[in-house]
Every structure is written in C-alpha cells, then in structure tokens.
Structure 1
Amino acid sequence: MSVEGSQGSTGRYRPTNSNDPGWDYGQPVDGNRDHVKCDFCGHVSKGGIKRLKQHLVKASYKGTMYKDVRKCDKVPQDVVDVLRSFMEGKQKITEEKQSKKDEMIRNVNVYGNDDDEVEEVMIQIPKKRKGPMDAFVAPIDVDFRLRAPNSNENKKALENIHGYIADFFYENSISFNCARSDSYSKIMQAIVQYNDPSTFKPPSYNDLRVKILKKKKEETSNWVDNFKVHWETYGVTIMTDWWTDGKGRTLINFLVNCPKGTVFLKSIDGSAHIHDAKLIYKMLKDVIEEVGEKNVIQICTDNASNYVLAGEWIMAESKIYWMPCAAHCINLMLGDVSKMHLVDETVKDAKKISLFIYNHKHVLHLMRKQTKGREIVRPAVTRFATTFLCLHSMYEKRQKLRDMFHTVEWRNSKWPKHPIGKEIVKKVKSNTFWNNMHTCLKIMAPLVDVIRMVDTEEKPSMTYIYSAIEDCKLKVKTNLGDQNDDDRELWIKMERILDRRWSGMLQKPLHAAAHYLNPQYYYATLTSSDEMESNTKLKEGLLDCIAKLALDEEDESQILRDLIAYRTKAGRLGKRGAQACVKTIAPVEWWITFGSEVPALQRFAKRVLGLTSAASPCERIWSTFDNIHTKKRNCLEHDRMRDLAYIQYNRRLKMRYEERISGKEIDPIVLKSFDECAEWLVPDDARDDIVLGTDMTYGVLEDAEDGFDDPPLTRTSRTNTASHCSQEVASSSRSTTRHLQDSSDDDDYDVDANYDMGDGDDDGIDSGSDEDI
C-alpha cells in the first residue's frame, strides 16, 4: 500500500486526517504503510498500524492475547496506557454501531409478532457446498428458509417483505420496470435458497462500485471477445444512433454488428456537438480505428444531415460505406402513408373510440369483459408502427366492440343518451369505418412486415432488403386490387411514396450486391439469373461495390472472374447438393460451404451477405443510460460510468442473443411499455384533469413520477425534435396507463397477398380486470 499522508514539523509521517496515536511510535518502511517499524525495539509489524499497536500494548488487550503478535519489551508503560485508552474508545464506537445494526435487523420482523410468542419451526435443509451464486438459483420451492407459521402469519410476512422492497425502490428512485427484469427475480430466488442465512452478507457500496464492477467488466469483455474473433472474417457494421433523455442530454451510442451477434462499444455525451458533422466524423474515425478499419464494411445511422455529411466524408477517403438505417427509412414511408386523407381520417376516428373507452372506467370494464381481457391498444417501437398495431387490434375485435353496445350494462349506463356515447356507437356500427380501416391495414401491413424483417437480429437483413421492398410493392398493389378508380388512385399514391423513399434513400450498391449474391434469388428459377444480369441498375450497384470493397486491383479482377463461375454454376457451385441447399441454408453459410473454389468471391460474399441494414439494436436499450450519464463527473467517476454503461448495455444484448439462439420468438416492433401509445390512451388536455380524491392534476403527478420513470425520447420523438415539430413523447400517459396489462402476447397477424383480417373472434389470456382500472 503506497503512503498517502504528510510530514509534520518533526519529520514524522502521519496519514491525512488521521488521529491514531500509533503513528507517534512507528513509521512506514520504504513508504509501505502495511509494514510499520517500532520506534522502541525496531520490530517491523507487517499488519499495518493496527498490528503495531497490538505489539506495543504487550500483545494483549483486556486479558485476551493477540495471536502471532510479538511483544515489545522496551515500550514505556505510559505509552501502553495511551494506546489502550485509544483502542478502548474505538472498540466502544464499533460496538455501538454494531448494536444499532443489530437493533435494525431485529426490527425487520417479517411476521410482525413482536408481542406474541410464536412457536418457531425451523425447516431442516441439508448442507451443500457453497459455490457461485448461479448454483443457488432455481425455482422457489416449499423449502422456504423462514419459520413455518400459519397462513395468516405467512401472508403478513409477505406483505412486510414487499414493503421493505418497495421502500428500497421508492427511497432510491428506482424505476418500477426493474422489477420485471430476470436479474431481479434471480436475486430473490438466490437469497431465499442460500444455504446458511446467518452468514449471508449483501454487497457493500464499495463492493458494488469497485470489486464487483471490475469483475463484471472482465466477464463482459470476455463475452465481447467471443465476437471479435469473427470480425475480420465476416466484416462488421458500426451502428450509431443518438437519443435525448428527459434531462436534455444527447447521448451517442456505438455498437458493432457481425453475423454472430451485436456488441456495445461505448456511449458518448454528444450534447455539445450533436449537430456538428465535423465532430461526428471525428468520433466515427476514432471508433473505426478502435474496431480496425480493415474489419469495417459499413457505418449505419439515421438520415440526419450531420450523419449524412460525416458518412460521405468517411466514404470519400476509405473503403467503408455509409448506409442509412433501413428501419428508419421505412418508418418514414409509414409516416408518408399516415398523411394520406383516408388513413388520416380513419386513424382519427379510431383514436376517438380508443380514448373514449380507456378514459371511462365503466366502458373500459365492458370492453375487457367482451374481449376476455385483451386490450385494443398495442404499443410498438415507433408512432406509426403503433398506429398499425392499434388499428389491427381494433379491427380484429370489431365484432366484440359492436356486441358491447348491445349489452344490458351499456344500455343501463348514462352513455347511450350522451352525445359522445351516441357518436362512438355510430362509428363502431358504421360499415364504412371498418371498410376504411381494412383498406388502411392492407396498405400498411406489407411495410410493417419489412420493418419486422430489418429489425430482427435472427438473420442478416442486408441480403433480403432489396427483394423485401419489391415484394412490399407487389403486396400493396395486390391487396388494393384494381376494382375501381379509387383503388387505382390509392395505388398510384402508394407507388409514388415507396419509389421516392426507396430510390432516394435505400437503393445503394451494397443492397444490389447482397441481392445479386444471394443464391436464393439468383437461382430461384431458370430465368431469375438472366433477369438479374439484364437489370442494369442492379449490375452497376454490384460492380461499384466490388470496386470499393476489393482489397486491391488484383483482388477485384479475381472477384470479377469468379462471378463467371457463379453465373454458369461452375464446379461445386453447380453441384446437386449446392443447388438443393440454396433455399434451405443461410446465404452466408452457403458460400462458406460451397464457395471454396472461388475464394476471392467467397470472401467478398461473406462480408456483404453478413451485414445488417438497420441500426435498431442502438435504439432498443436507450433507457439503459438514463441513470448512468451525468453532466459533471470527475475523471475517476467518468471511467466508472463508462464501465457501468459497457456492462449494462452488453448484458441486455446478451439476453437478446440468448433468447435468439434458444429459438424464442421475439417481435422486434412490439413493446411492453404503453408509453408510445399516449395519443391512443390519453386526451391532449389530460394533464389538466384532477386526480380523483385529490387537488392535484395529472400533470403534477406526472412530473413527480418523472423521478422514477424518466423515459428517453423514442425513434418517433427524436425525429420530431430534429425537424422542430411537436414532440410525441408519451409521458402524459403514465398516470393513466400504469395499470394497463401487457398484451404483447396477442397472436401475430399473418399477411399474404390477399390480406385477410379474420372475423375478430380471438381468444386470449386474461390480462385485465375491473381491479386493474
């Protein structure tokens, strides 16, 4: 341990702010405070100043001998008396602290039977060898390591435990969403099943911020290293996105994606320079250098002008592409669709129905009764995806909603005679309203399918985006049909929207190369390869991509020669096994398996087909940083915060990775939180409403709750902020929607060329009741 202290006028060393008299009779050896030399006999105590004092008080204290402590025979008695007096005072303070701690523990009586004698029946648990905490994590069983009281006592005990946990959340402003995390559940299960409760000791403040944090960072780095070994083989995408939290801080996240998975690299507070393209460019250059320029194929960001300009500078000086986030571009298409008169009017009417139901307790109860607890509102990652899911959910339940207005409960309420009630009933019973909603769904569903495809991490989306957009256009045209002038006019508008966004933002050389090299498409039919070869724009994109990404001129020439083998199915590429697998294995794996005879093209194909086309993982975990980044931190705290962000973000990514490889289905656009549904749940003037039984408005309550759940701006609201439009932040919904049940388990819709919404007779899990209101 290095010496940190000062030299007094006598030249003696004393630690800063220390009043320990032991330092008057000993000095550290060679600056090491753990080795202290006695002034009287010269003995060096190797246990610090505490061991020196034990040496000086003649190796005993209050009649107790100190083990393995050498006695000093030269120390004067008056020095012994001074040191013993000081040690007794310290011991008294320690005992008082322990007494207070013991009293606090005694007061934590989960059964609340301080005054009554209760027979304690201890459950016998066989001793087990202690090991990692994971060894104690298992489903909570009946061998609950507490007393076994009667059922009433058990109920009271559980209430008290819940109270202590709630106090911890409230006192420390912890988001209630934390109670949903797997790690929270593991904590509780591990504590309950720990073998020896008497020895259980929770981690201290310093344990959490130093020792354990360091260990967890090492574990996280080891997990990240598992992906780094694949970066050179497959190439990577650097994904970056910015978001603004509730305190006005703008944070920029950097992630690295390859076919094996996505990892978080770092986050930077960009509040001072988010709009400066030069500084964005510098940050990107630093990240490229950190990852390795030879490994980076593309940078994927949103379409903000500062990112576009910085990306163009990167492309001009390197072999790296800048690509706009496909999910963001398609969401803009949905935004354009939402502005169409038919869609806009239908959505307004649907919102009126939703707002009426969710803001009147009796009506909400009737709706849930009719739908068996299923909600008609479903949250998604963006405002426009939310619009689609809500319309779809409402359309599915249209017959249930109609039936609701024929029930005795409805007829006996005040609403059948109320103007608002009459208007809502008229809407719900209108065939025109539901037909218009059906049309909206037919033109929006194919776009939402594409968002789902590019947002998922199950497979690299670059190889499918080109075909997905073409299929989307075909589906929309087929869904609308060609029955009348209105349908034809609607298709013309849709085609214009899709082509403008696709050709202007998404149709890039990488998309063309990935489409061309995907054997699922190239060998799909006898004529598909000829069709691709005659597609001038596609071939130009492919050749441009080869010229940019080839290692050198020789490598470029070899790739072009290898393309002949690909086109003519030469060698292994044309073998029966290779052709039989084009539709059954992933394109990257196909090239790895069958492309060894054309190594230059094989390498190029692996690095193109393994790319993602969206920066979605950046946006999924914005809230991770809400309580990490602060404006003012000293250098040490900055390092610790970076470590904490690194651990948290990668833990979330690891959880998604494990869910994916386990085969669990994840809908990338569906959220569990209802924050993105505010406009479907809460009227615009809801902040001014009075909370029942108080003199507070919902606006005041919402502001107070911000300390617990301060949501970051979402993909929608960031876009609106950037364009100086009104923010669509769903904060005002919290006070009203916190009891809504998650309905993300609804059956996924199924869209084909002949879009059919079904009859709405869906059964589901009970997710709401009158008590939830």
Structure 2
Amino acid sequence: MSENVGSGTGSSLPSIPRPTPAVSRRKNATGNRSDIGWKHGIDVQGNGKKVKCNYCSKTISREIYRFKHNLAGTKDIGYKPPSYHELRETQLKKTVNNVDEMLTEFKVEWKRTGCSIMSDGWTDKKRRSIFVKMLEDAVEFVGEENVVQIVTDNAANYKAAGERMMETRKSLYWTPCAAHCIDLILEDFEKKLKGKDLVRPGATRFATAYLTLTCLHDNKGPLMTMFTSADWKTTKVASTPEGIRVQNMALDSRLWKNIVICLKTAAPLIIVLRLVDSNEKPAMGFIFEGMRNAKETIRTNFGCVKKSYEPIWEIIDGRWESQLHRPLHAAAYYLNPHYHYEPNFMVDDADIKIDLYSCLKKLVPNQEERKKVGLQLPDFHYARGLFGNETAKSSRKTMLPAEWWDFYGDSCPELKKFTIRVLSLTCSSSGCEHNWSAFKMVHTKRRNRLHQKKMNDLVYVMYNLKLKGKQIRKTQELEFDAVHSDDEWITEDVNENIAESVEHSHLPTNDNTNDDPNSNEFAIPSMNSNEFNMGEGEEEDEHVNDDEDFVGRVEPEAERNDVSDEDGEDDDVDAMEDEDIGGFEF
C-alpha cells in the first residue's frame, strides 16, 4: 500500500510488477543453449567463451563454433574466395599458362600434320578491315613452315586477302570454305531454278531450310488429315484468311511435288555438307569424290533425264569450278587409299595429276625431295612393298587416310611426309564460328569495357578448355552405339530422316506417266555405306556427327535425254507432267 501524496488523501493503488529480463533468442546466448554442439561440451565460464569437450576433456576457446570444428576434426578457417583483383589478374594468368602447357603436345604435331588457319573477317573501331594483318599474325604464331592452307569464306575481300597471302608466302594455299560454298549452291537453287518462296536458304544457316522441308514431307499425311478434320474446321484460325491460305497450300498436290523435287536436288549436297562441316575428322581426302557422287546421285534421282538434272549440274559446276575446287582437293583424292585402288578411280584424268604435282611443287620446295616423291608415287599406285601388305589392303577403308599412311608409308618417307600433310587438312572454316559462343559470353553490349588482351585471354581459355572437355568425353567408353549430335545445323536423327523420307518419297502420279514403277522414285546414297567411312572403332563426339555414315558410291547409269513410248510420244520418267525441274508452282 502506498499513499497518494499529491492528492492529500489516503488511497490504495495496485502494485505494478517489475519486468523480467528477456531471454536472448540467439541459440548460443546464456540461457538459450539450443545449438546442437552443447550436447557434447560444457560451458566452462558460463558465458559461452570456452567449451570443454565431453570426450577428450580439451577446452576450446572462442565459443561453440570452434568447438564443433574440433568435434568434426576440421579446421575452422573456411574457404576464402579469391578477390576480384585475384580473379582477373592472378588466376587468369595462371589459367592461361596452364592452357599453354596443355597445348604443347598439339604444337609438336604441327610440323608433321601441317595446320589450317580458319578465320572470319574482323574490323577495327573505324570499320577498317584488319583481316590481312590477323592472318599474318596467325601465320607468324604458328610458323610459316607449319601452315599448309588458310580457309575463309568466299567473299571478294576474303579472296583478295587469300591471294595476297599466297603471293607473299609461296608455300601455303588459300582455300575457300567448302561449307559456305555448298550453302551458296543451295541458295543458287532458289534463285536460278524459278523458285517462288518455297525455300530461302540464304536466310538460314546452311541446309536448315531443306531440313525443314524434310520435316514437312515426313508429316505430309498427318498435316493433310489435320486440315480435313472436323476439329480444324471448328477452330478460330480455320476461318481467317491466313488459315484458309495455309489450308489450301497444304492440300495442294503441287506443294508436295515441289518439296520432293527440292529434296531430290538438295539431299545429296546436304550429305556432302555434313562431311565437310565435321570438325573432328579431316575431310580433304573425301570432298572431291563426295561432290562427284552427289552429282551422280542427283542424276539418278531424276531418272537420268538430261533436261531435268542438267540445270542443277550447271549450278554445282559453276560454284565448284570457279570458287571451291583447289589443287589440294584433287591431290588428296589421288592420295586417299579409300579411292585409289577402286575400279572406277580416275587414274587417267590429267587434271588430277596436274593438281597433284602443283601441290607437290608448292608444299615441297626442295627439288631433290620432290624428285624422291615422284619416284615413290609408283610404289603407292601399284601397291608395292608395305602398300601391298594384306593388313594394309584390308584397312584401306577402315582407317583414317592419314593414319593409314603413317602406318604403311614407311618405305616412302618423303611421299609419306607430303601425303600426311595433305590428308590431315580440313575443308571448312565453320569450326571457328563455334568460337563466337565463347566470345559472346565474355563481350556483350552491356559488358564491353574489358581490355583487349584480357578479353582475348578469356576467350582463349574458355574455348580451349571446351575443346579439351570434348576430347575427354570422346575417349570415354560409351554404352550406346551412337551419340546424338548437338551441332548447330544438323543432327544424326535429322540426317536419318532425310534418308528415310527421300528413299520412301513418290511424286504425285497423273494420267501422262509411263508404266515404269520406279518413275516416281528417287534415291540418295545409303546412310550406312562405308564409302565415306573415315575410320571404324572410334567413338563419336557429341558435337560432331560420325563420318562413317556418309554417302555410298552411285554407279553412273546410261545417260538419256528422254524416254519414248511405243507411240513415239515422250513421257517424263519422273512423272512431272513434262515440267522442267525449275518449275516450282503454287
């Protein structure tokens, strides 16, 4: 009881309890030992600063955190991440040095196998071309004696730069990119064969548009069923102008006929494109025969009717003879054991031998060594010595050409050295395009203040480590017979779909077709042929399709300009209503 002194009258007031101190919610605070570590130790001083272990009686200072590290047998100093400066300076330099050491083993092979320098065009801040200077720097880095060819696109400025390089450096070739050239051939089909927006290869990467047509052809039945179904008619899209236009196009037999024509024309070239676009196995020894086989396959697809396939041949020959073909292609064809001992090998072709000796003169500047190579060529041609060994004969098509020469060319050392450098080359510059993905991760519009050297080091490290990772994955044992490709333009499944769709496709028949049951059929080479088998028993890289599925040889058929029936009337063998191949209709 207390008195209210201020009022002057006595009164009683309820007592107010004093607040009790709040218990801290921290799990290691005094009075709140909820940390699991306290089950195994004793608080020595009552303030959590020192903890005595129940098992070893050791007293650990600096609270329960250190005590738990003592229980676990670990150090209490955690991982200290590198600072920003250490990452961009110390660690980056260390990684660059590690990559340099990793590449040492490959640099040793440069002198034996030769090198191909692949490049895109670059400009400086003032949009001036620095392409020639880049090539000069690359040649100096690799060593002129190790460089066999420079591969670029077919643009006029690249060609001028390449020819300039050949003038100043007499021992190397400039070679246009075969993949880009085949892409231009596909684009020429759209431009020169009266195409009407059926495909536009120029707007896509390589053969993507034709692969889209393959997908359409594979789904022809389901598409036509969909557009004639009641479900389609009840949709909102069916009554729109766009829906009506697409429906009419899908139900028009001329569309499907034109798609088949495109596939008959493009499928053989797509297979050659797949050959040259491989980044793992050198394609130099196969492109010459690959283009020859593609032309023969196209001729067969159109029933050997000259008026149908001749315009296509003219387009192919125009690009091949004026842009793509180089002496290296013919020389590699001649020296490739896959083809040299075949019955239809072009042994009497003077142009091939001229190109062979032209390469010999450029790549072997020493005259005495050239004479020895010339004297050793007959041993290879007639399979003398090791070349005639039974094992060598049986492995002509199961080993990579350069490896075959490495094993069985010892009796002709000068010829062996020259041949390995030719057969180890690539035909395409598309490999350097894959470097753009690494570059885009380093340099963007929002992150563009890196110094030039630091940016180059980052791309150098990222891309080489990526290639090394692919090599490691490639050497691992796989449980599957094949690995799907993740290439940017084509996959194994898509390529097989091309073969299936083309082999099972028929053009629409009409009343004017002849009685030939094969008149509406066309074929592409078998995907399982060994004709372009560039080595068996090797695992396939997940980024690149295996080259052993390339096209097989197509024996040429007797050429004929037309087919006449008993009444003297001409019937087109492929039932196109006497249309030329260029007649795309809608």
1:12-411 map, 5 Å: 199-242=78-121, 252=122, 270-272=124-126, 274-275=128-129, 279-317=130-168, 318-341=170-193, 343-347=195-199, 382-411=204-233
Taking the aligned partners of 2:302 and 2:505, their CA distance within structure 1 comes to 17
Contact kept in structure 1, 2:179 and 2:277, CA below 8 Å = yes
Match of 1:560 in 2: 374
Contact kept in structure 2, 1:455 and 1:669, CA below 8 Å = no
Match of 1:495 in 2: 313
**How much has 1:745 moved relative to structure 2?**
8.0
Question: 1:619-651, CA deviations, whole angstroms, 9 ceiling, x for partnerless residues?
Answer: 123132235458999999333222112112223
Q: Which amino acid aligns with 2:186?
A: L
**How much has 1:435 moved relative to structure 2?**
1.6
Q: Which amino acid aligns with 1:295?
A: N
1:676-715 map, 5 Å: none
**How much has 1:508 moved relative to structure 2?**
1.0
Contact kept in structure 2, 1:463 and 1:514, CA below 8 Å = yes
Q: What TM-score, normalized to structure 2?
A: 0.67
Unaligned runs of 5+ in 2: 1-25, 27-33, 38-73, 507-586
Q: Which amino acid aligns with 1:297?
A: V
- Structure 1 residues 669, 219: CA separation in 2 closer, same or farther (over 3 Å shift)? same
- Structure 1 residues 215, 333: CA separation in 2 closer, same or farther (over 3 Å shift)? same
Contact kept in structure 1, 2:442 and 2:458, CA below 8 Å = yes
Contact kept in structure 1, 2:396 and 2:404, CA below 8 Å = yes
Q: Which amino acid aligns with 1:399?
A: G
Q: Which amino acid aligns with 1:755?
A: V
Match of 1:749 in 2: 496
**How much has 1:221 moved relative to structure 2?**
1.7
Match of 2:413 in 1: 599
Match of 1:523 in 2: 341
Contact kept in structure 2, 1:479 and 1:753, CA below 8 Å = no
Contact kept in structure 1, 2:232 and 2:238, CA below 8 Å = yes
- Greater share of helix residues, 1 or 2? 1
Match of 1:420 in 2: 242
Contact kept in structure 1, 2:484 and 2:493, CA below 8 Å = no
- Structure 1 residues 669, 537: CA separation in 2 closer, same or farther (over 3 Å shift)? farther
Other structure's SS at 1:749 match = helix
Name which of 649, 653, 670 aligns with 2:488. Answer: 670
Contact kept in structure 2, 1:452 and 1:669, CA below 8 Å = no
Other structure's SS at 1:339 match = helix
Name which of 446, 456, 459 aligns with 2:278. Answer: 456
Taking the aligned partners of 1:273 and 1:636, their CA distance within structure 2 comes to 19
Matched, 1:441 2:247: no
Question: 1:685-727, CA deviations, whole angstroms, 9 ceiling, x for partnerless residues?
Answer: xxxxxxxxxxxxxxxxxxxxxxxxxxxxxxxxxxxxxxxxxxx
Other structure's SS at 2:428 match = coil
Match of 1:725 in 2: none
Q: How many residue pairs were aligned?
A: 433
Question: 1:63-108, CA deviations, whole angstroms, 9 ceiling, x for partnerless residues?
Answer: xxxxxxxxxxxxxxxxxxxxxxxxxxxxxxxxxxxxxxxxxxx9xx
- Structure 1 residues 344, 219: CA separation in 2 closer, same or farther (over 3 Å shift)? farther
Contact kept in structure 1, 2:214 and 2:497, CA below 8 Å = no
- Structure 1 residues 666, 461: CA separation in 2 closer, same or farther (over 3 Å shift)? farther
- Structure 1 residues 274, 223: CA separation in 2 closer, same or farther (over 3 Å shift)? farther
Other structure's SS at 2:119 match = strand
Other structure's SS at 2:288 match = helix
Contact kept in structure 1, 2:260 and 2:505, CA below 8 Å = no
Contact kept in structure 2, 1:621 and 1:652, CA below 8 Å = no
Taking the aligned partners of 1:573 and 1:581, their CA distance within structure 2 comes to 11
Name which of 467, 474, 495 aligns with 1:653. Answer: 467
Q: Which amino acid aligns with 1:417?
A: S
**How much has 1:288 moved relative to structure 2?**
1.1
**How much has 1:489 moved relative to structure 2?**
3.2
**How much has 1:214 moved relative to structure 2?**
2.2
Name which of 553, 558, 572 aligns with 2:386. Answer: 572
Taking the aligned partners of 2:235 and 2:450, their CA distance within structure 1 comes to 63
- Structure 1 residues 380, 460: CA separation in 2 closer, same or farther (over 3 Å shift)? farther
Taking the aligned partners of 1:418 and 1:282, their CA distance within structure 2 comes to 57
Q: Which amino acid aligns with 2:330?
A: A
Contact kept in structure 1, 2:283 and 2:427, CA below 8 Å = yes
Q: Which amino acid aligns with 1:331?
A: D
Question: Percent identical across equivalent pairs?
Answer: 36
Contact kept in structure 2, 1:624 and 1:645, CA below 8 Å = yes
- Structure 1 residues 666, 222: CA separation in 2 closer, same or farther (over 3 Å shift)? farther
Q: What TM-score, normalized to structure 1?
A: 0.52
Q: Of the two structures, which has the highest relative contact order with CA contacts closer than 8 Å and spacing of 6 or more?
A: 2
* RMSD of aligned residue pairs (Cα, Å): 3.4
**How much has 1:307 moved relative to structure 2?**
2.2
* Structure possessing the higher radius of gyration over alpha carbons: 2
Taking the aligned partners of 1:221 and 1:381, their CA distance within structure 2 comes to 39
**How much has 1:298 moved relative to structure 2?**
0.8
**How much has 1:415 moved relative to structure 2?**
2.9
Q: Which amino acid aligns with 2:398?
A: T
- Structure 1 residues 449, 298: CA separation in 2 closer, same or farther (over 3 Å shift)? same
Taking the aligned partners of 1:272 and 1:470, their CA distance within structure 2 comes to 44
Q: Which amino acid aligns with 1:389?
A: L
Between 653-662 and 418-427, report the one with greater CA deviation: 653-662
Name which of 321, 330, 352 aligns with 1:512. Answer: 330
Matched, 1:537 2:416: no
- Structure 1 residues 652, 659: CA separation in 2 closer, same or farther (over 3 Å shift)? same
**How much has 1:652 moved relative to structure 2?**
3.1
Taking the aligned partners of 1:751 and 1:601, their CA distance within structure 2 comes to 40
Contact kept in structure 2, 1:380 and 1:669, CA below 8 Å = no
Other structure's SS at 1:463 match = coil
Match of 2:13 in 1: none
- Structure 1 residues 389, 573: CA separation in 2 closer, same or farther (over 3 Å shift)? same
